[in-house]
């Protein structure tokens, strides 16, 4: 018998059943302390590969490794008890074949104890999504602006500006839903197309720079907290963490310099 307290987390099937119901709240988080705060409000927390840019100063997500995702995934799982934790599969760890994807996704699930993985791509990833879900790995899909493809897209560009491309985006959404994805991130897509996809498919859509009509929304935590000096245009910034950190660092620096920093007795009372 296990002596561990049972953790009742939201599950991937529960998120899947929220289609057309209560809006799904989600944010990214990459570390234990912020995850513990987000856990109180979010239905799922994404350990996104955006951590390569946000936490590690990379220019894109292409350089993120599986080990890095596992390290941050473990931290977020440890810091939380309620939300579903979804970990991103980084570039190069799932595209080659369904069996390579399974080996790497199983490693992510085992080592982090997360509840699901996310991967980028539409119709071309449908076979892999089916392979993983049939073998016990819940998959969140991701279409529209897929940052891991930045080098073929030629930049982070809003998708669907040309109405002729709508059919292929709709086919991507249909294919991943049909393959068994439990939810679908729709990133950087013109509003009417994202709304149309949301109406047409059977799984919840999670918008980011897409449409308020999506079944849920996700933002990168550091963007919405005001920690990123150049957030994407679509982001509503809810905090001023960058300013608050700077003010605190300056106050500390001033105290150290003018020798008004509290003595050990005052600090450790």
Q: Which residues bind ligand KIV (CB under 6 A)?
A: 28, 46, 48-50, 88, 142, 185, 187, 208, 218, 220
User: Is 187 marked active-site?
Assistant: yes
With b for 16 or more beta-carbon neighbours within 10 A and e for fewer, the 14-31 pattern comes to: ebbebbeeeebebbbbbb
* Catalytic residue (one of 187, 222, 264, 266): 187
Measured CA to CA in angstroms, residue 101 lies from 95, 117, 125, 160, 243 at distances of 7, 11, 10, 28, 41
N- to C-terminal Cα separation, the chain: 43
Contact 194, 205 (CB under 8 A): yes
Least distance CB 89 / ligand KIV (angstroms): 10
Measured at CB, which residue is nearest to ligand KIV?
Answer: 48
The two tokens of residue 5 are 């307290």
Least distance CB 104 / ligand KIV (angstroms): 16
Least distance CB 186 / ligand KIV (angstroms): 9
In whole angstroms, give the CA distance from residue 213 to residue 192: 9
Question: Counting beta carbons within 10 angstroms of the beta carbon of residue 67, is it exposed (0 to 12), middle (13 to 18) or buried (19 or more)?
Answer: exposed
Angle between the N-to-C axes of helices 66-79 and 98-112, in degrees from 0 to 180, rounded to the nearest 10: 40
Cβ closest to ligand KIV, residue 28 vs residue 205: 28
Cβ closest to ligand KIV, residue 105 vs residue 208: 208
Neighbouring C-beta atoms of residue 150, cutoff 10 Å = 17
Contact 90, 142 (CB under 8 A): no
Cβ closest to ligand KIV, residue 35 vs residue 185: 185
Cβ closest to ligand KIV, residue 175 vs residue 218: 218
Cβ closest to ligand KIV, residue 64 vs residue 177: 64
Catalytic residue annotation? 187
């Amino acid at each position: 018998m296990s002596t561990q307290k049972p953790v009742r987390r939201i599950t991937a099937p529960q998120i899947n059943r929220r289609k057309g119901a209560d809006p799904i709240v989600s944010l990214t988080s990459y570390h234990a302390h912020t995850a513990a705060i987000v856990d109180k409000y979010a239905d799922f927390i994404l350990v996104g590969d955006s951590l390569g840019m946000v936490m590690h100063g990379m220019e894109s997500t292409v350089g993120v490794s599986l080990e890095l995702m596992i390290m941050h995934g473990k931290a977020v799982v440890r810091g939380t008890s309620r939300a579903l934790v979804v970990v991103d599969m980084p570039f190069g760890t799932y595209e080659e074949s369904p069996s390579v994807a399974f080996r790497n996704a199983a490693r992510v699930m085992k080592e982090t104890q997360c509840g699901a993985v996310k991967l980028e791509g539409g119709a071309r990833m449908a076979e892999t999504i089916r392979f993983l879900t049939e073998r016990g790995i819940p998959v969140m899909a991701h279409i529209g602006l897929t940052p891991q493809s930045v080098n073929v897209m030629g930049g982070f560009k809003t998708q669907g500006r040309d109405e002729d491309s709508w059919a292929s985006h709709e086919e991507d959404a249909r294919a991943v839903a049909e393959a068994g994805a439990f939810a679908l991130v729709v990133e950087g897509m013109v509003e009417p197309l994202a709304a149309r996809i949301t109406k047409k498919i059977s799984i919840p859509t999670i918008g980011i720079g897409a449409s308020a009509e999506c079944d849920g929304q996700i933002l990168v935590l550091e963007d919405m907290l005001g920690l990123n000096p150049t957030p994407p245009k679509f982001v509503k910034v809810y905090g001023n963490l960058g300013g608050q950190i700077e003010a605190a660092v300056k106050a500390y620096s001033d105290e150290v310099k003018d020798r008004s920093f509290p003595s050990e007795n005052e600090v450790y009372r």
